[in-house]
Structure 1
Amino acid sequence: MKQDGAEPQNPSPDAQGRQDGPQRPTPSIARSSAVMAAGTLTSRILGLVRNALLISALGATASGAADAFNTANTVPTQLYNLLIGGILNAILVPQIVRALRQRNGEELVNRLLTAASLVIAGVAALLTVAAPLVIMLYASGLGRWQPLAFAFAFWCMPQIFFYGLYALWGQVLNARSSFGPYMWSPVLNNIISIASILAYLHIYGGYTTGQDPGIWDAGRIALIGATTTLGIAAQALILYIPLVRSGFRPRIIFGVRGMGLGSMSKVALWALLGTAIVSLGDLAATNLGSRAVTAAESAAYADVIVPSTTMYANAQLVYMLPQSLITTSIITALFTRMSEKAAAGDREGVRDDLSLGLRSIAVFTVLFAAGIATLAAPALQVFVPSLSLEQANASAPILTVLAIGIVGQGVWFTMQRVMLAYADTKRLLIADTVVGVIPILVCLGAYLLAPANHWMVWAAVASATCQVAGFLILVPLMRRHLPDLDGPRVLGTYARLILAALPAVLVGLGVRRLLGPADGSLTGTRPVDALVTVLVAATVMTVVYLAGAKLLRVQELDVFFSPLSRIVVKCGRLLPGPAGTAVVRAGRALAPTPSAPGPAPSTVAEPEPALPPSFPLLPLHSRREPARPPPRPRRPRISVSPRPPSGPPIRLDSPSTRRRYQQWEVALWRTPRRSAPAGMNCCPPCRRRCPHRAAPGPRHDSGPSGHRPATDRCHSAPPRGAGGGHPRRPGG
C-alpha cells in the first residue's frame, strides 16, 4: 500500500467569532496521535497482507512482472510528491487553515479546492498520455518487460489526481481537528486491493519461475492495474462523508483572485525546486533496481540471488512502519501548533515543540531501529511469507541498513517541519540539495564498482546517509529562527536511549541464535518459525530496552511507565501471598520518581541569626518590625454601562471595544467642570476623601455620600440627562 506520509491551538476570540458552525472541541496531541497511529497500524497490517498476496501472484526476486508493476505503481506517488505535494504543503494547506477561520471560510476553501483539483487533474491527464516517456525515465533497464510497465502505467497514472484529492480533503479535516478519517481511509484501499489480488490468484494462479511477458493479456493487466487505481480513488472519495459530517460541504466554486496566493509564489517555487532535487535520489534508486533485473537474467548471476526494485520496496515497507506509526502521527499533531506559534513570533514555543517532538519520537525510533536491524531476515519472512530462507538472507542487508537510518529519518522529518512552519523553503533548499545529490553519487558508484547483488544495499546506504546529512545541514539554518535547539537535553535523551538499546541488541542476537534460522525446523513452516522468532526476540528486547531506559532515568518514558505501574500494582493485589507482594513492589518500582519541586522564591525564609542562649526568643515579627496588617481588599468592579454618553449602543463583545469604552469612562470623569449644578450631590468615582465638605444634605440615589460640593474642583458626577448618567450605574 502506498501512502504519503497537534494539538492545534485555540483561535483568538475574534477568529472564533468568525468561524461558521458550532465549535468542535480541540483534541489533545496524545489523543490525536493515538487515533492516527491506530488507523495507520491497521492500514499497514492490511498493506502487508496485500503485499504478501501480490508477491504470490507476481513473484519477488528476478521477477520482471513484479518489477514492471511496482515501477508503474510507484511512479505516480513520486510524481505527485515532485509536482504537487510540495506546493500543497507550502501554499494551499496554510491558506486552507487561514480561510477556515474567516466568516465565509467554507466558500474560500471551496474556491481553493476547485482550483487545486483542476490543476491536479490537468497534470494527471498529461502524465497519463506521456506514461511511456515517464517509465523510460524512471526504469530504463527493464528490457523486455518494459512494454508491460507501459501498460501498467496507463492504468496507474490517474492515481495522481486521487492522491491530490485525498491530500486536499484530508487537510481540510485536519484543520477542523478531525484526524481519524485521513488515516483510516487507506484501510478501504487495502481491502479493495486484497480482494482483487485474491480474484487474480483464483483465475490465473500464482507466480511460476521463468514466466514470459507474452502471457500478460489485457484481462490480467486490468485486474491488477485498474483495481489498484480503484482502491486509491475509493481512499480519496470516502473522505466526502466525514467532511459533510464535520459541517463542511465540498462544492465547485471558481475564482481565487484576491486570496493572497500570489504572495506565496516564491515560497512555492523554492518548495517545488527542493522536492524536485530530493526526488532525484528516488530516480537513481529506481533505475539501479531496474538494471538489477536485467543483471539477474544474465549468465554471470545465474546462481546468485540479485535483489531488485521489488525487494527494495518490500524492505522499505517494513522500514516505513516507524515513520508512519510514530513520527508522522506525533509530528502531524505538532505541526499545526508550531505553525501557529511561528506566525505569532513565539520562538521559544516553537523551540519547545521541536524539543518535545524530537525527544518523543526518539523513544520509539531507537527501539525500532535496534529491533528491525537485529531481526531483518525473519521480519522479511513474516511480512513476505512467500520468500525462501535464501531470498530473505540475501535481502536482509538492505533492511538492516535502512533500519539504522530510522533515527536519522525521524530527526530529518521533524526539523523539516520546523522550516516549513516558518515558510523558509529557500534555506530548506540547501538541505534538500544534499539529500538529493548523495543518493545519485552513491548509486552511480555502486553501479560502476560493486557487484549487482550489492546494488540495492548501496541504495539503502545512500538513503540512510542523505537524511543524516540533511538534518546536520538544518541545524545551523534553524538557529536563524529559534533562540536555541535545546541541544543538551535532546542529545542527552538520544545518548541514554542508544545506551539502553545496546544490551537489547545483544539479547536479541542471543535469542535469535538460540531459536535458530526460520527454516521450518521449529514449527514445521518457515513463516511460523519467523513469526515465533520475531515475537519472542522483540518482546525480550523491548523489556531490556525499557529496563535500561528506566535505569538511565529517561524522563520521556514516564508517560509509559505511569499507567504500566498502576496496571502492575492492580494485578499484584489480585494475587495471593508473596507472589502478589512481589508484583506490587515491582509495580511501585516502575512508577516514575516525582521530582521534588523547589521552593518558590517568595516563600524562602531567611536564615535566623545565631543568638546566645540567654537571648529572649520572641516571635519573628517582634524581633524585626511590627507585623503589617493585611491589605484591605479592593472593592469589586461594577460592570460598565452598555451605552456611551450619546449614540447607539456599544457591543462589548471584543477586548478592543471594552478597552475603548474603559478609556472613554476614565476621560469622562477626568473632564474638568466649570461649576456644579445647584442641588446636585457629589458622586466621586474614586476612593479619595473629598476635602470640600459642605453642610449635610439629603442623599441622592447615585452618590456614595451625602454632602454638597463647595467648589468646582470636586470630582462631581455629570448632571442627569446631560451626559447619559453615571457610567458605573446604568441610567444614572
Structure 2
Amino acid sequence: MSRTTAASAPASPPTRTPGRLLGSATFIMVGNLASRVLGLVREQVIAGFYGVGLEASAFSAAARVPSMLYDLLIGGMLSAAVVPVLSAYAADPERRAELWRVVSVFLTMVTLVTGLASVAVFALAAPLAGALAQGFGADGTALVATYLRVIAPSIMLFGVTGAVIGVLYAREQFGPPSVAIAVYNLGLITSVLVFHDRLGGLALPLGITLGSLLQLCVLWPGLRGGHVRPRLEAGHPALRRILTLYAPIGAGLAVSQLQVIADTRFSSAAGEAALASMRYATTLRELPHGLISVAISLAILPALAAAHARREAQTYDRTLARGLRLVLALIVPATVGLAVLADPVVGLVFQRRLFGDEARQLVTAALYAYLIGLPFIGIDWPLNYAFYARQNTRVPALIGVVSVGVYLVFAVALGPALNLARLPQRWVFLGLVLADSLKHVAHAGVMLVLARRLIGREALAGVGRTALATAAAAAVMGAAVLGLDRWLAGAVGHGTLAWGLRAAAGAAVGAAVYLPLAARLDVGEIGWLAGVVRARVARR
C-alpha cells in the first residue's frame, strides 16, 4: 500500500475517528456482553444437569463438527474476504448499486454449500464419530453419532447466519449481529430446561439446532429493503474475488482442523471428564476475548479496509495501532484478574448439582493453562484483520499452518511428560491445553514481527509503550487482588455466596487499583473509555 493519500480516491464514508471506533466497539461489546453472559448461563445449565460426565463430553465432541465446518466454509471467509470485498462495494458510489446483486449471489452459494455439508454429516455420522471420539469406547462413540445427526441441520443454518452477519458488518450494521448469539444461547438453554427430563442428553444437540434457527430469524430482517433473491452466478467477479482471497485461508483452516481432530481424539482418550472440563474452561477464557479483542477487531475492520481502498496509509496505521492499544489496555488486566480469581469464579459459575469439587479443580487447572495464551490471542485478532483489510490472506494462512505444527509438537510431547511426572490420568489432558496456549504465543509472536513491516514505526512504538504500562499496572493489581482473595478465602470459606463475595470483591479492588494506575502510567485508552462512558451517561 502506498503511504500517500490518493487525491482521486472515490467518495466514501467518513474516516473512523477515535470516538466512532470506540462507539462501534462499545456497541459490539454490549451485544457481546449479553451473549457472553447468556453463554455462561448456558454452560452453567449444562454443567448442572450433565457435570463432566460422558453425555457432556460426547456433546462437546459432536458440537465441534458444526464449529469446524463453519470455520472452514464461512467463518474464516467473513473477515478475510467477505467484509473487505463488500466494504469496497459499499464505499464506492459507482459500485454501490451492484452491492445487493453480489449479496444475493453470495447467499445463494453459501446456502447450497452448507446444505450439502448438512446432508453429508447426517449420512456419515457414524464414521465421523469414530474418527473424532474413538477413546470414548463403543457406547460413547454411538452417542456422539446420534448427537451429530440431530446437530446436522444447524450446519446450513449457521452458514447462512454467518453470511448475513458478513453483509451486515460490511454495511457497518452492528446491532443485529450483536444480538444474534444471545438468541442462540437462549435456544440452547431453553432446550435443556424444557427437554432434559424427557430426552436426557439429546436436549443438548437439539438446543444447537433450535438456537441456530432462532438467530437466523433475528438476523434476516436486517437485509430488509436490500432486494435479496436467489441468484446463481458462479462467475460473478465479486464472488471470484472472495474465493480468491479465501483460498489460502481455506487451505490454512483445512490444516488447522487437524488440531481440532487431534485435540478431540487425544482428549477422548484422557478420560470422560477431559472434553467437558476443557469446554467449560474455554467458555471462561472466551468471555474477555469476545468482549474485548473480537469486538474491537470487528469494529476496526471496515475502517481498515476503507483506508486501504483509499490509500490512506496514516489513517490505516492510526486505526490499527489504536485498536491494538485498546485491546492491550483491557485484555492484560482481564487475564491477570481471571487468573488470580480462577477458583472462586469457576466455583461461582459452575458448581451446582452434578458439578462438584473435583470438577471445579479440573476446570480451574485447565483455565490456568488456557490463560497463558489469552493476551496473545487478544493482539492476534486485530493483527490478522489488518492483513485481511489489505486483502492479503496468504500471510495469516501460512502462519496459521505453522502454528498448528507448534500445537501438534507440544501436544505429543507434553502428554508423555505429564505421565512421567506421575500425575493422575485425569490431569494429563492439561498437556493439550498448554499446547493450545503455546500455539497462540507462537502465532502472535510471528504476527508482531510482521507488523513491523505493516505499519509505521511510530505507531508500533506506541503499542509497545502501552503493553509495558498495562503489564506493570496489571501486575500491581494482581498482587493486590491475590492478597485480598487469600484473606477472604480463609475468612469466608467455600460455597456459592463465598465465591460470589470473593469474585465481586476482587473485581472491585482490581478495577480500583488498575484504572487510576494505568491512567497515571499514561495509558490513554483508559481516558478514551472514560470519555465514552461519560458521554453515554450524559445522553441519558
In structure 2, what is the equivalent of residue 339 of structure 1? Answer: 305
In structure 1, what is the equivalent of residue 31 of structure 2? Answer: 39
Provide structure 2 residue ranges, at least 5 long, that are not aligned to the other structure: 1-7, 14-18, 420-424
1:112 positional shift? 2.0
Work out which structure has the larger RCO, using CA pairs closer than 8 Å and 6 or more positions apart in sequence: 2
Moved more, 154-163 or 129-138: 129-138
Moved more, 92-101 or 230-239: 92-101
Contact 2:79–2:385 (Cα < 8 Å) also in 1: no
In structure 2, what is the equivalent of residue 671 of structure 1? Answer: none
Aligned residues: 514
Alpha-carbon spacing, 1:392–1:251, altered in 2? closer, same or farther (3 Å): same
Between the aligned partners of 2:153 and 2:413, the Cα distance in structure 1 is: 35
In structure 2, what is the equivalent of residue 389 of structure 1? Answer: 357
Task: Give the secondary-structure state (helix, strand or coil) at the position aligned to 1:177.
Answer: coil
Instruction: Write the mapping of 1:116-127 to structure 2, written as runs, cut at 5 A.
Output: 116-127=110-121
Between the aligned partners of 1:99 and 1:117, the Cα distance in structure 2 is: 22
Between the aligned partners of 1:52 and 1:357, the Cα distance in structure 2 is: 32
Amino acid at match of 2:59: F
Q: Does 1:242 align with 2:215?
A: no
Instruction: Write the mapping of 1:533-544 to structure 2, written as runs, cut at 5 A.
Output: 533-544=502-513
1:254-284: per-residue Cα shift (whole Å, max 9, x none)?
A: 2243424335544322111111223332323
Amino acid at match of 1:505: G
1:360 positional shift? 0.6
The partner residue of 2:40 within 48, 60, 74 is 48
The partner residue of 1:69 within 59, 80, 98 is 59
Contact 2:341–2:503 (Cα < 8 Å) also in 1: yes
Contact 2:84–2:302 (Cα < 8 Å) also in 1: no
Alpha-carbon spacing, 1:96–1:266, altered in 2? closer, same or farther (3 Å): closer
1:560 positional shift? 3.6
The partner residue of 1:230 within 206, 210, 231 is 210
Contact 1:369–1:405 (Cα < 8 Å) also in 2: no
1:194 positional shift? 1.9
Provide structure 1 residue ranges, at least 5 long, that are not aligned to the other structure: 1-10, 17-26, 205-218, 295-306, 569-732
Instruction: Write the mapping of 1:63-462 to structure 2, written as runs, cut at 5 A.
Output: 63-100=53-90, 101-143=95-137, 144-201=139-196, 203=197, 219-220=199-200, 222-244=202-224, 247-263=225-241, 265-293=243-271, 307-386=273-352, 387-451=355-419, 452-462=425-435
1:558 positional shift? 1.5
Alpha-carbon spacing, 1:83–1:547, altered in 2? closer, same or farther (3 Å): same
Between the aligned partners of 1:448 and 1:566, the Cα distance in structure 2 is: 55
Between the aligned partners of 1:174 and 1:185, the Cα distance in structure 2 is: 13
Between the aligned partners of 2:12 and 2:521, the Cα distance in structure 1 is: 46
| TM value normalised by structure 1 | 0.66
Q: What's the Cα RMSD here? A: 2.7
Between the aligned partners of 2:382 and 2:247, the Cα distance in structure 1 is: 22
Amino acid at match of 2:226: F
Contact 1:412–1:470 (Cα < 8 Å) also in 2: yes
1:366-420: per-residue Cα shift (whole Å, max 9, x none)?
A: 1111111111111111221323334323331211222232211111111111111
Alpha-carbon spacing, 1:159–1:492, altered in 2? closer, same or farther (3 Å): same
Between the aligned partners of 1:459 and 1:514, the Cα distance in structure 2 is: 33
Alpha-carbon spacing, 1:95–1:421, altered in 2? closer, same or farther (3 Å): closer
Between the aligned partners of 1:567 and 1:79, the Cα distance in structure 2 is: 39
In structure 1, what is the equivalent of residue 474 of structure 2? Answer: 501
1:334 positional shift? 0.4
1:654-694: per-residue Cα shift (whole Å, max 9, x none)?
A: xxxxxxxxxxxxxxxxxxxxxxxxxxxxxxxxxxxxxxxxx
Between the aligned partners of 1:487 and 1:90, the Cα distance in structure 2 is: 23
Contact 2:108–2:231 (Cα < 8 Å) also in 1: yes
- Greater per-residue helix proportion: 2
Contact 2:293–2:379 (Cα < 8 Å) also in 1: no
Amino acid at match of 1:186: I
1:480 positional shift? 4.7
Between the aligned partners of 1:479 and 1:566, the Cα distance in structure 2 is: 35
Between the aligned partners of 2:534 and 2:87, the Cα distance in structure 1 is: 40
Amino acid at match of 2:385: R
Task: Give the secondary-structure state (helix, strand or coil) at the position aligned to 1:383.
Answer: helix
The partner residue of 2:49 within 57, 63, 72 is 57
Task: Give the secondary-structure state (helix, strand or coil) at the position aligned to 1:362.
Answer: helix
Moved more, 428-437 or 388-397: 388-397
Contact 1:46–1:187 (Cα < 8 Å) also in 2: yes
1:567 positional shift? 12
Between the aligned partners of 1:390 and 1:255, the Cα distance in structure 2 is: 56
Alpha-carbon spacing, 1:507–1:221, altered in 2? closer, same or farther (3 Å): closer
In structure 2, what is the equivalent of residue 571 of structure 1? Answer: none
Q: Does 1:549 align with 2:515?
A: no
| TM value normalised by structure 2 | 0.88
Contact 1:124–1:161 (Cα < 8 Å) also in 2: yes
1:462 positional shift? 1.6
Contact 1:110–1:252 (Cα < 8 Å) also in 2: yes
1:12 positional shift? 7.0
Between the aligned partners of 2:512 and 2:105, the Cα distance in structure 1 is: 52
